[in-house]
Amino acid sequence: MGMAAAAGFAADLTGNWLASQPLNDGTSRRTYLNLRQEGSRISGTIRTSQFYYKITESTGGPDHFTLTGTEEDGKTTRHVLYEGKMVGDELRLTTRRRPDAPLVEMVAHRAPAGEGAMPARLALPSLHKVPYNGLAKTPPMGWNSWNKFASRVDDAGVRQTADAIASNGMKDAGYVYVNIDDTWQGERDAQGNIHANKKFPDMKALADYVHSKGLKIGIYSSPGPNTCAGYEGSYGHEVQDARTYAEWGIDYLKYDWCGARNIYKAEDMQAVYQKMGDALRATGRPILYSLCQYGLDDVWTWGPQVSGNLWRTTGDIRDSWASMSKIGFSQSDLAQWAGPGHWNDPDMLEVGNGGMTDTEYRTHMSLWSMLAAPLLAGNDLSHVTPDIMQILLNRDVIAIDQDPAGHQAKCAWKSGDQEIWVRPLAKGDYAVALFNRATDSAKVTAKWAGLGLKGTPKHARDLWSHQNVKMDGPEYSADVPGHGVVMLRVGR
Ligand code: GLA
């Protein structure tokens, strides 16, 4: 009996376990398994930075067990599967981040009770209007590291990108923000100040460098304890982080909900974003404020209230025609919410990343410009083909995006896979884009009377061929290549 009890105790999985996996940027990814074993049933929670799973199924015991963790955030359900055994006083575990991801092995040791628990919801300020910061009178233009580099962004890469933008014509065309996305963060010090990880030895020096090129620099954080990639977020340090960014000389913050979803409720969102809006304002430095919460909670109705200069309207873009076109062509109903200082953000550009044809990338650039979307290039600017450069540098198309009136285009006509979008411009011109979403080329006819224009166009310019187009009747037809566009600027 004594023996059995002792053996039973030694082999009990109950407890708080920590597996810490070092990453090559000097940070580590921590997984906490808070387990309770009752006979043949194991319950509890698993937390890997921003992911917080409830154990919903288990098999086995200390000699060999499996755990299924489930996370539900109202919209999506995620599962994670762990398999493991207890050896001495450690857990040897294997897991997959996604069903199709490679197997990860890890070893967990006992951790103090309570360590790694998901922190509590913070009290939030009552709602008020955060004054407009005066920025983004036209949609922001620049570059962001995520689409191409994800966790591979580093100091050298950001400097190279700034060099490229300053010398390849992009700066002159209006691309000014060089934005570092997720994975720059290191640990906090004893005073709670955030430091960058090994990839960014000196943020202030980097900001100085980017500024010396006549450009501006952006950074990324989350209202949660962790970001989407599992790095340190601004939870409980909002004011302090805003001050740090201002001290470094940061000009742009993308603030990503991801890691906050297990802490706050959807209805807390406005107050959560207001808190950072106030914190940025209190620094006295103009910092452009980009809200990233994928269009939840009708963000366009309250984004300007928290001094948001742009807000994502959808989930993440991918470098494919399917993803880009699904996002881009779904934005018509949001047109009324865009305007100088505050823009809808259908996510960053994939132009030049290789997953679409040049025709498709021209459509991407045209559609985003019709939508008055931010133009944040997301490709490797040290290797750009001349054709891709021409797409990014098309001044006629950029002028549509940057039109000072700030009206967003709407879909004015649609028949099957063909759509005509119209954007009213300052001084009475219009941008008119004839899109063909089918794979085969198609003739698309703009019948002016049905498109909501004031009057019939007398002159027009094709913004990709850079030719004047003859306008002499009630309609205009063009052969539009599959997945392509004919984009015009028309006037009276
Ligand atoms: C989310 C955002 C992306 C990117 C990643 C970084 O998915 O929507 O744009 O910032 O997080 O982890």
From first to last of its 492 residues, the chain has per-residue pLDDT tens of 334 444 444 569 999 999 999 999 999 999 999 999 998 899 999 999 889 999 999 999 999 999 999 998 777 899 999 999 999 999 999 998 777 888 999 999 999 999 999 999 999 999 999 999 999 999 999 999 999 999 999 999 999 999 999 999 999 999 999 999 999 999 999 999 999 999 999 999 999 999 999 999 999 999 999 999 999 999 999 999 999 999 999 999 999 999 999 999 989 999 999 999 999 999 999 999 999 999 999 999 999 999 999 999 999 999 999 999 999 999 999 999 999 999 999 999 999 999 999 999 999 999 999 999 999 999 999 999 999 999 999 999 999 999 999 999 999 999 999 999 999 999 999 999 999 999 999 999 999 999 999 889 999 999 999 999 999 899 999 999 999 999 999 998
* Res 6: pLDDT: 42
For the whole model, what pTM was predicted?
Answer: 0.95
* Res 8: pLDDT: 44
Q: In the chain, what are the domains? A: 3-110 (2.40.128), 141-401 (3.20.20.70), 410-491 (2.60.40.1180)
Alpha carbon distance 310, 305 (integer Å): 12
* Res 327: pLDDT: 98
Q: 155-167 vs 203-212: helix axis angle to the nearest 10?
A: 10
Contact (Cβ atoms closer than 8 angstroms) between residue 170 and residue 176: no
Q: Is 231 in the pocket of ligand 1 (CB under 6 A)?
A: no
Centre of ligand 1 to C-alpha 487, Å, is 31
* Res 98: pLDDT: 74
* Res 5: pLDDT: 40
Q: Is 292 in the pocket of ligand 1 (CB under 6 A)?
A: yes
* Total residue count of the chain as it appears in this document: 492
CB neighbour list of residue 174: distance below 8 Å, 6 or more residues apart: 141, 375, 398, 402
* Res 3: pLDDT: 41
Q: Is 228 in the pocket of ligand 1 (CB under 6 A)?
A: yes
Centre of ligand 1 to C-alpha 317, Å, is 10
Q: Considering only CA atoms, which of 141, 136, 169 is closest in space to residue 404?
A: 136
For atom 9 of ligand 1, the residue with the nearest CA is: 316
* Res 99: pLDDT: 73
CB neighbour list of residue 160: distance below 8 Å, 6 or more residues apart: 381, 382
Q: Is 153 in the pocket of ligand 1 (CB under 6 A)?
A: no
For atom 3 of ligand 1, the residue with the nearest CA is: 316
CB neighbour list of residue 175: distance below 8 Å, 6 or more residues apart: 141, 142, 143, 165, 375, 377, 392
Own/partner long-range contacts of 394-398 (Cβ < 8 Å, ≥24 apart):
394/365, 394/463, 394/464, 395/173, 396/461, 396/463, 396/464, 396/466, 396/489, 397/365, 397/366, 397/369, 397/463, 397/464, 397/487, 398/141, 398/173, 398/174, 398/369
Q: Which of 316, 358, 380, 417 is catalytic?
A: 316
Centre of ligand 1 to C-alpha 316, Å, is 7
Tokens standing for residue 252: 């742009």
Tokens standing for residue 30: 């921590």
* Res 455: pLDDT: 85
Rounded CA Rg of the chain: 26
- The answer to whether 89 is a known catalytic residue is no
CB neighbour list of residue 167: distance below 8 Å, 6 or more residues apart: none
For atom 1 of ligand 1, the residue with the nearest CA is: 228
Centre of ligand 1 to C-alpha 173, Å, is 26
Centre of ligand 1 to C-alpha 49, Å, is 15
- The answer to whether 256 is a known catalytic residue is yes
Alpha carbon distance 17, 151 (integer Å): 27
Q: Is 256 in the pocket of ligand 1 (CB under 6 A)?
A: yes
Contact (Cβ atoms closer than 8 angstroms) between residue 410 and residue 421: yes
Mutate to test the pocket of ligand 1, among 183, 184, 256, 347 (most ligand atoms within 8 A of CB): 256
